[in-house]
C-alpha cells in the first residue's frame, strides 16, 4: 500500500523541481527526500522521477501518481480541518433526546444557550419515554438524553455517563370542588376510594404510582390512561379521577383543578442527563451537559411552580 507521507514528498519534489527544493520546503535533509522517493518507487514498481543535472523530471507514472497524491492530500487536509472545527465546536452535530416534560421545560433553556454560544453545531432533538430512549442511547443513535428514574435505578442506565440534574416531585391533582381539595395533611391513603387517571400502564410513572399506592395500603382503581398530561388534567377537571402529576408537567395548570402536595413527602423522580461512555462522546456533549446543569439550577431557582401546601 502506498504511504501517504511518501506521496507528500513526491508531490513536493514535483512542485519544486528538485530534491533540494523539496527538502527545504519539508524541513528534511536531501538524503531523506531521496530515500523516501526511492522507497515509493519500490512500492509502485516503476520509476517516478528521472534525475538530471538541473533537477528532476517527472515520468508519466510519476505524474499520474502526483495527481492522485494531490487529491488525497487535499482530502486529508479538509478532513483535518473539519475534525479541528468539530473539536472546537465550530461544526459537527449533537443528537439529543428527551422525555416530553423535560423537553418542554429544561431542554429549550439549554438549547437556546448552546445555540447562542456554538451556532455552527447542528442540534437535533427527539422525544420519547426513558424506556424507549435509553436503549437507543446505548446503541449510539443519540449523543445525549434526558431521562428520569425513581428510587429504583432503571435497568441499563448504570452503563452510561450520568449527571443528576434535579428532583421532580409529583403532586396530587383533584377537581377544584373535590371534598379533599382543602384537606390539610393530605396523604395518599386518603385517596384509596378514588378512581385514578395515570399514564400508560407500562410507563415508569404509572408503575411508581401503583407502587406508591401499594405502600399506602391499597390497589389504585385506574379508570383512564393517557401519556399527555394536559389530557390527564382535563380528565381530572371532568371529575372522572384523581392523578399524580410531576412538577415538570405542571408549567401550565387548569383553573378548574387543585394541585396539592402529599404529606409527609411526595413521590419524587430524579431527572438525569445521560451520555455514552467517554470513548464515544461527541465533542459537543460535555459542553451541553454543563449547560443542562446550569439550566436545571435556573429552573430550580426561578422556573418551578410554588409548591402547594400539604
Q: Are 12 and 22 in contact, with CB atoms under 8 Å apart?
A: yes
- CATH architecture of the domain 168-268 equals 3-Layer(aba) Sandwich (3.40)
- CA distances 157 to 34, 127, 207, 227, 280, Å, are 57, 18, 18, 22, 16
Q: CB neighbours of 236 closer than 8 A, spacing ≥ 6?
A: 173, 174, 175, 197, 242, 243, 257
Compute how many other C-beta atoms are within 10 angstroms of the C-beta atom of residue 203: 17
Distance CA 296, CA 148 (A): 13
pLDDT at 37 over 90: no
> Model confidence at 306, in pLDDT bands (50, 70, 90)?
very low
User: Within 13 Å and on the Cβ side, how many CA atoms surround 184?
Assistant: 0
CATH 3.40.190.10 placement within the chain: 93-166+269-303, 168-268
Nearest of 150, 146, 138, 152 to residue 165 by alpha carbon: 146
Q: What percent of the chain has pLDDT over 70?
A: 88
Summarize pLDDT for 72-103 with one digit per residue, the tens.
877 777 676 566 666 666 668 899 999 999 99
Pick the CATH number of 93-166+269-303 from 3.40.190.10, 3.30.110.30, 3.40.1110.10, 3.10.450.50: 3.40.190.10
Mean pLDDT of the chain: 86
Summarize pLDDT for 160-217 with one digit per residue, the tens.
888 999 999 999 999 999 999 999 899 999 999 999 999 988 888 899 999 999 999 9
- CA distances 154 to 54, 134, 246, 272, Å, are 75, 10, 18, 11
- The answer to whether the predicted template modeling score (pTM) of the entire model surpasses 0.75 is no
Q: CB neighbours of 254 closer than 8 A, spacing ≥ 6?
A: 233, 234, 237
Task: Specify the fold of 4-87.
Answer: Arc Repressor Mutant, subunit A (1.10.10)
Confidence at residue 243, expressed as pLDDT on a 0 to 100 scale? 96
Nearest of 276, 137, 266 to residue 205 by alpha carbon: 266
Distance CA 170, CA 205 (A): 9
CATH 1.10.10.10 placement within the chain: 4-87
Amino acid at each position: 500500500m502506498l504511504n501517504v507521507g511518501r506521496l507528500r514528498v513526491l508531490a513536493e519534489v514535483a512542485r519544486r523541481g528538485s530534491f533540494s527544493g523539496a527538502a527545504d520546503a519539508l524541513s528534511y535533509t536531501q538524503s531523506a527526500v531521496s530515500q523516501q522517493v526511492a522507497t515509493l518507487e519500490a512500492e509502485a514498481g516503476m520509476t517516478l522521477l528521472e534525475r538530471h543535472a538541473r533537477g528532476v523530471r517527472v515520468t508519466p507514472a510519476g505524474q499520474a501518481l502526483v495527481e492522485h497524491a494531490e487529491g488525497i492530500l487535499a482530502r486529508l487536509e479538509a478532513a483535518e480541518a473539519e475534525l479541528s472545527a468539530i473539536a472546537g465546536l465550530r461544526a459537527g452535530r449533537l443528537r439529543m433526546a428527551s422525555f416530553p416534560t423535560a423537553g418542554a421545560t429544561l431542554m429549550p433553556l439549554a438549547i437556546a444557550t448552546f445555540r447562542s454560544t456554538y451556532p455552527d453545531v447542528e442540534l437535533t432533538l427527539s422525544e420519547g419515554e426513558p424506556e424507549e430512549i435509553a436503549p437507543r442511547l446505548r446503541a449510539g443513535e443519540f449523543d445525549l438524553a434526558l431521562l428520569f428514574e425513581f428510587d429504583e435505578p432503571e435497568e441499563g442506565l448504570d452503563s452510561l455517563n450520568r449527571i443528576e440534574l434535579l428532583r421532580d416531585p409529583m403532586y396530587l391533582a383533584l377537581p377544584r370542588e373535590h371534598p379533599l381539595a382543602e384537606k390539610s395533611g393530605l396523604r395518599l391513603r386518603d385517596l384509596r376510594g378514588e378512581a385514578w387517571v395515570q399514564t400508560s400502564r407500562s410507563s415508569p410513572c404509572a408503575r411508581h404510582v401503583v407502587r406508591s399506592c401499594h405502600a399506602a395500603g391499597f390497589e389504585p382503581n385506574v379508570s383512564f390512561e393517557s401519556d399527555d398530561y394536559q389530557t390527564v388534567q382535563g380528565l381530572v377537571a371532568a371529575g372522572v379521577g384523581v392523578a399524580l402529576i410531576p412538577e415538570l408537567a405542571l408549567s401550565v395548570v387548569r383553573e378548574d383543578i387543585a394541585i396539592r402536595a402529599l404529606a409527609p413527602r411526595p413521590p419524587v423522580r430524579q431527572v438525569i442527563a445521560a451520555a455514552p461512555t467517554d470513548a464515544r462522546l461527541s465533542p459537543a456533549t460535555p459542553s451541553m451537559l454543563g449547560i443542562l446543569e446550569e439550566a436545571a439550577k435556573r429552573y430550580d431557582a426561578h422556573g418551578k411552580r410554588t409548591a402547594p401546601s400539604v
